[in-house]
Chains A and B, each alone.
Chain A
């Protein structure tokens, strides 16, 4: 999908979180880097209307998330850093099924689709477990399964591995970058991962400082902050 930003600014009270962002992106793997507080999460939340621009216009696949948040959210799956806050239903299978609650499918169809999604991401055997009893890595895979079951067109992941150990971080990022056919926007501090994206965005102090091939963007990021 085409992601378009036209003079987008976001302020919270006196604080400017994003300042005059202009963009046109249709790459499949879009990486986002930048220091804490540079505006990455604000950028991500504009894509599904969790935050709306103070001025300017966002368009994702022709949908304006500010005016049509429902459409924006159904075409976008969002993965947060904190694995705990994304669990809605008490058991693993129920949580994935929850995504399809308004799909018009029968209960059995929903359950079998949900199970297939869990199996796809390697946690089918946990289907009947209490969701909160899972490890953090498994919870992120659950979040991915729950989002992917409705086949969104865009996945936005805001530091999805920030709270995971190294092995789980690798696993979850491999899943996001390799196992998903959809377009992915990945916010990360893992520069190895950022380097694998098709295009890299670098934010600094609410501005979009650089957009381009990953390796030069990473080099200047390291040079300025190393």
Chain B
């Protein structure tokens, strides 16, 4: 799930990245302390959908629905073990809705914030720690790289799958682990070199 800035002129878009990040953290903290009442969780989810339409108008609701639909497998993976281990269905439902609300809130943040702004604000916030030898650039780069790593890993796994299919093996997760790891390490190695060449001191 890679999401990127969707241009807009709403106050959410114009809000500086740092305070917006604090609001996001507060919202997620709020969502996570709601009890196991599915209705409270639903109310939180509704509030997030409200934030989407606040940022993008009516199109925001469609975006909200789209993003929620994308979470389906993840949510399913989370529901099943809880049911198996005998949790109350009400609390399972509440958990899932809460999780969806929190993830959609985070996604909305990335939709309305340029990653460069986020990065600049992190560097700014961590600035005072420079004198203790902390390099804020490392933190912000980590975020950018994490965003970039997602499409790369998807690409590697597609390649590993293809290679296995081509050799007549039915692709299996266990068989993918090694080629995926090798490809990732090779990528990390070359990426580090490219970073150095562009003047980043690691």
Contact = CB atoms under 8 A, between A and B. Distances in A.
Given A73-B196, A80-B193, A98-B198, A88 B115 contact: no
Interface stretch (B58-66, B143-151, B164-172): B143-151
B39 interface: no
B190 A85 contact: yes
A88 B144 CA distance: 7
Interface in A65-109: 70, 73-74, 76, 78, 80, 82, 84-91, 94, 97-99, 102, 107
Interface string A114-133: 00000000000000101111
9 contacts: A48-B197, A73-B197, A82-B190, A85-B190, A88-B145, A89-B116, A90-B2, A130-B151, A133-B151
Contact of B152 (A74, A99, A132, A146): A132
Interface size class of A (residues with CB under 8 A): 20 to 34
A91 B5 contact: yes
B96 interface: no
Given A50-B196, A50-B197, A132-B151, A91 B4 contact: yes
Given A73-B196, A80-B190, A99-B198, A88 B148 contact: yes
Interface in B94-131: 114-116, 120
B89 interface: no
Contacts of A70: 199, 201
A130 B2 contact: yes
A69 to B, nearest CB: 8
Contact of A73 (B4, B7, B191, B199): B199
B201 to A, nearest CB: 8
A130 B148 CA distance: 9
Contacts of B194: 78, 80, 85-86, 88
Contact of B141 (A87, A88, A94): A88
Interface of A: 48, 50, 70, 73-74, 76, 78, 80, 82, 84-91, 94, 97-99, 102, 107, 128, 130-133, 146-147
B54 interface: no
Centre residue among B114, B196, B198, B200 by max chain A CB count within 10 A: B198
Given A131-B148, A132-B151, 6 more contacts: A73-B199, A85-B194, A89-B116, A97-B116, A130-B2, A130-B151
B103 to A, nearest CB: 18
Contacts of B193: 50, 80, 85
Interface in B31-77: none
A205 B148 CA distance: 37
Contacts of B190: 80, 82, 85
A84 B2 contact: no
Closest 3 CB pairs of A and B: A132-B151, A85-B190, A78-B197
A3 B147 CA distance: 38
A133 B147 CA distance: 13
